C-alpha cells in the first residue's frame, strides 16, 4: 500500500524506548483455543447497517488483546465501547459481556480465552453505532493443527450466518504475527485460508485490513525509536508469501499508486512483565498503534 493512503509519515513516528531487556512480551497474554462447548443457537444481530469488523486470526495471534487495546483508546476519545448483550441470550453470554467490561480496566495480562467463544462489541458515538466488532475463538478462523482445512466452507454456523446472510459491510482484519514462531507450512496454510475467503466470501463492498501484530518483536524495523512502516510491510510479505498476490490491485489506473487492495497496519497490543506467583502485568502500547488501526478502520467504514 502507498504510504500516502494513511495520511501519516510513519517513518517519522517516534514510539519511545523498546528495550527488550526491560520489556517482556510473554505469550501468556495472548489467545489459546477455548476448550468449552460452543453454544451457537439464538444468534441475533439487530443492526443490519453498521459495518461488522471481524478480527480474523488463529489462536495466539492476539485478537483479544487487540480488541482491549483499541477499546481503551476509543474510550479516551469519548466513544462508548460495550458488549452487545442482545447478540446471544442466556446467562453464559451475559457473563462474557460482564467479563469484557471488567477486562477493559485490568492491569493484568488476559487469559487466552478471556472472552470465551464469541462476543459482539459495539462502538458508539453520539448515540450512533459506528461499527460492530466480532471477537471469536482463534480456531474458528484457522486451526494450525488442521492445516488442510483452508476452505471457506469450514466456518462455524454462527460465522457463516454473519458472513453470508447479513447485508452489513464486513471489514476483515486479518491478523499476521511478527513473532516468527510459526513454521512456514503453517503460514502458507493460513494464507491459503485467506485466499479462499477472498474468492468465496469477500464481497466488493467489503474492506480488508492486514494487521501485523507484535511488530515490537522485530527490532530491525526500528531505528532511534522510529518505526519504518515500509520495512514492516515488506517483512510481513516475506513471512506470509503470496498474501500480497491474493489482494493484488488489478485496476489499471489505481494500481499505479496502490498495488494492493488492503490497508496495512503495524500493531503492538502492549508489554507484559512477568510477576512471580501472579499473572504478567500488562502495560498498554503507545497510542500510535490503536490510532493507526482506528484511522484505517474509519476509512474502511466511510469508503
* pTM to 2 decimal places: 0.85
Predicted local distance difference test score (pLDDT) of residue 111:
56
242: left (phi over 0), alpha (psi -120 to 50) or beta: left
Give the C-alpha separation, 70 to 104, whole Å: 10
Report the Cα 278 to chain-centroid distance in Å: 27
Q: Helices 63-76 and 288-302: crossing angle, nearest 10°?
A: 90
Greatest mean pLDDT range, 19-28, 35-44, 79-88:
79-88
Query: How many other CB atoms sit within 10 Å of the CB of residue 281?
Result: 16
Q: What is the mean pLDDT of residues 240-265?
A: 95
Predicted local distance difference test score (pLDDT) of residue 38:
54
Give the C-alpha separation, 211 to 263, whole Å: 8
Residue 28 has pLDDT above 50, yes or no: no
Beta strand 278-284 with 270-275 is antiparallel
Query: How many other CB atoms sit within 10 Å of the CB of residue 237?
Result: 18
Beta strand 128-136 with 263-266 is unpaired
Contacts 24+ apart (CB under 8 A), 245-254: 246/191, 246/194, 246/195, 246/198, 247/198, 247/208, 247/210
Q: What is the mean pLDDT of residues 221-233?
A: 94
Residue 116 — very low, low, confident or very high, per pLDDT cuts 50/70/90? low
In 219-295 the beta strands, taken as DSSP E runs, fall at 222-223, 226-227, 263-266, 270-275, 278-284
Give the C-alpha separation, 217 to 42, whole Å: 41
Predicted local distance difference test score (pLDDT) of residue 104:
87
Query: In this structure, is the dihedral angle defined by the CA atoms of residues 43, 59, 109 and 72, taken in order, positive or negative?
Result: negative
Residue 26 has pLDDT above 60, yes or no: no
Give the C-alpha separation, 93 to 115, whole Å: 10
Predicted local distance difference test score (pLDDT) of residue 295:
98
Residue 193 — very low, low, confident or very high, per pLDDT cuts 50/70/90? very high
Predicted local distance difference test score (pLDDT) of residue 247:
97
Ordered alpha helix ranges (H), the chain: 63-76, 91-103, 157-160, 184-200, 229-239, 243-246, 288-302
Report the Cα 109 to chain-centroid distance in Å: 17
Query: In this structure, is the dihedral angle defined by the CA atoms of residues 133, 135, 139 and 144, taken in order, positive or negative?
Result: positive
Residue 103 — very low, low, confident or very high, per pLDDT cuts 50/70/90? confident
Ordered alpha helix ranges (H), 122-179: 157-160
Predicted local distance difference test score (pLDDT) of residue 194:
96
Predicted local distance difference test score (pLDDT) of residue 115:
53
Amino acid at each position: 500500500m502507498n504510504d500516502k493512503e494513511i495520511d501519516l509519515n510513519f517513518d517519522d513516528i517516534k514510539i519511545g524506548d523498546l528495550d527488550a531487556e526491560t520489556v517482556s512480551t510473554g505469550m501468556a497474554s495472548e489467545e489459546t483455543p477455548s476448550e468449552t462447548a460452543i453454544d451457537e443457537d439464538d444468534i441475533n444481530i439487530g443492526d443490519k447497517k453498521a459495518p461488522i469488523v471481524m478480527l480474523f486470526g488463529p489462536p495466539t495471534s492476539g485478537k483479544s488483546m487487540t480488541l482491549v487495546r483499541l477499546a481503551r483508546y476509543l474510550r479516551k476519545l469519548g466513544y462508548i465501547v460495550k458488549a452487545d448483550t442482545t447478540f446471544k441470550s442466556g446467562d453464559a453470554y451475559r457473563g462474557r459481556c460482564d467479563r469484557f467490561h471488567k477486562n477493559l480496566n485490568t492491569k493484568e495480562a488476559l487469559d487466552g480465552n478471556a472472552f470465551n467463544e464469541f462476543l459482539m462489541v459495539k462502538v458508539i458515538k453520539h448515540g450512533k453505532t459506528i461499527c460492530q466488532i466480532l471477537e471469536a475463538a482463534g480456531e474458528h478462523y484457522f486451526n494450525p493443527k488442521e492445516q488442510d482445512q483452508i476452505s471457506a466452507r469450514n466456518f462455524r454456523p454462527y460465522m457463516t450466518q454473519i458472513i453470508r446472510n447479513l447485508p452489513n459491510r464486513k471489514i476483515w482484519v486479518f491478523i499476521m504475527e511478527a513473532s516468527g514462531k510459526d513454521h512456514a507450512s503453517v503460514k502458507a496454510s493460513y494464507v491459503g485460508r485467506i485466499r479462499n475467503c477472498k474468492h468465496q466470501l469477500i464481497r466488493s463492498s467489503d474492506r480488508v485490513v492486514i494487521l501485523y501484530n507484535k511488530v515490537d518483536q522485530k527490532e530491525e524495523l526500528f531505528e532511534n525509536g522510529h518505526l519504518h512502516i515500509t520495512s514492516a510491510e515488506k517483512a510481513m510479505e516475506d513471512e506470509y508469501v503470496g498474501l500480497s498476490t491474493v489482494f493484488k490491485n488489478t485496476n489499471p489506473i489505481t494500481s499505479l499508486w496502490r498495488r494492493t487492495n488492503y490497508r496495512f497496519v503495524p500493531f503492538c497490543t502492549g508489554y507484559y512483565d512477568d510477576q512471580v506467583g501472579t499473572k504478567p502485568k500488562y502495560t498498554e502500547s503507545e497510542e500510535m498503534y490503536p490510532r493507526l488501526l482506528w484511522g484505517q478502520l474509519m476509512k474502511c467504514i466511510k469508503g
